[in-house]
Structure 1
Amino acid sequence: MKEFSLYLSYPFVRYAVIVGILIALCSSLLGVILVLKRFSFIGDGLSHVAFGAVSVATVFNLTDNMVLVLPVTVIAAIFLLKGGTGGKIKGDASIAMMSVGALALGYLAMNVFSSGANLAGDVCTTLFGSTSILTLTKEKVMLCIILSIIVIATFILFYNKIFAVTFDENFAVATGINTKKYNLLIAVIIAVIVVLAMNLVGSLLISALVVFPALASMCVFKSFLSVTISSAVFSVVCTGIGLFISVLLGSPVGATIVCIDILAFSIFYLIGRMKR
């Protein structure tokens, strides 16, 4: 514990802890919605789109890749949610097409146009979040804090509407709720969280950050509110433990957090089985 306290005296470690906790909290709130709407795999598809956008931003040497990555990911999220509900290409197929296509285009762009010498290292960092969480600047931390506060405030403010749209969209329409507007809101939130989470766990592991807390909580709790609260606590605690272990042992941050999620999910699953 003394060694970790020593590490906390360094700004980059404090930045990593702050950003990691905020991303975990936002991802857990989103995960409950996506799992209940049967869109749990959308995070994986969008993360690959974000990877493609990051690759293009790297090729053009953009100093702030958020300028390109966030709008592209938001547009992709809107397309995927619309395709999943009423498009000719249904949800799972459109996610698969966009996921594979963006991943291939991103890797091709980095290979053909990249001027950097360490291509493998750049790709590995983007895919698995190897060290990017420990190299955050103060500006990126502030941006993450602002976006996280917006996401959490939006979820709390529109909780009842999101609840209605998540559980029964047809009933929500019948009661006069503009479901298109709230699905658009959910799509934007998804995109923001995916872009933020790339710094923490990388583009290949984002789905774990979104899905595990929600599924674990559903094993033990039944109501939407209790599952949401449990998911938030689960995600924050697991991310905190993962960051703690990663800093002390020097292990990859994203992979460590996901492994802690898997272990905690197993415990919740056993508790749920015992309750039944």
Structure 2
Amino acid sequence: MNTIQNKYTFLHALRPFSFGVAVTTCLIGITAAWQEGVLIPLNALLVVIGGLLLQSGVNLINDYSDIELLSGEEGSACLIAAIRRNFRAGIGCFLLATPLGLYLVADRSMALLGLFALGLAGALGYTLNPVNYKSRGLAVVLVFWLMGVFMVVGSYVAVGGVLNRAIIAQSIPISLLVSLLLLSNELRDYESDRDQGLKTLTVRAGFTQAKRLYWLLMASTLIACLVLWVSGLLATPWPLLISLPFMIRPLRYLNTSAEQRRPLTPATGQLVMVFGLLFCFALN
């Protein structure tokens, strides 16, 4: 199976390595609520399940805009069929997450309804026309909010917390890494995206500038943690030191060929998962 065919298989489209985003962002919100003694266990379980369904849905619809690029090419019928199958599965994930979200809205706050609706709209607009903010070069910026800040804050409120500035500030480091993971995906696929005419941020800015942004996002994560610690919003930074080797590993792939760069995204996904879990310990 060649690289293009493999790209549209269900497992590849599901992108299991990115599940760390959903798990860690939800866990940070849950941990913050637990720390304050307001955690509702059932809601916490529903938040994690809903977060995984949302992440799965976003991943599975990710390639839908490729249909337009593939149409008319020889041998593209099977690829288009696979993309449509994945898209239907992604919509199914959103539908499964909907009743969970409605329960949390009814149990906690109507304000969550607006947050969930915004998150769903953002997920659908990721690759779907006429929005398609992936091809507009906006994905790295928007996932910071949609899959980062909103997930942490939404989880915190859904499991018993009350919206405040502290939880927003505490969501910044992991949100930067969520953007880093998306950027790693663009860096990995730079050549194929460029050849297919996909105007991602990396294609628009150029590979060299995107690499610099990768470094900047990683450094900004560390700086944000230091600021949280100094301001008293992070109990201790020391558990986060364990994540440093996981930060170094993906950097090795930035200056390699397209084929050798394939592990960049899984390595960045591991970083997100490890850092997020350690951040939960650092909050306490």
TM-score (normalizing by structure 2): 0.28
TM-score by length of 1: 0.29
Q: Answer 1 or 2: higher relative contact order, Cα 8 Å, separation at least 6.
A: 1
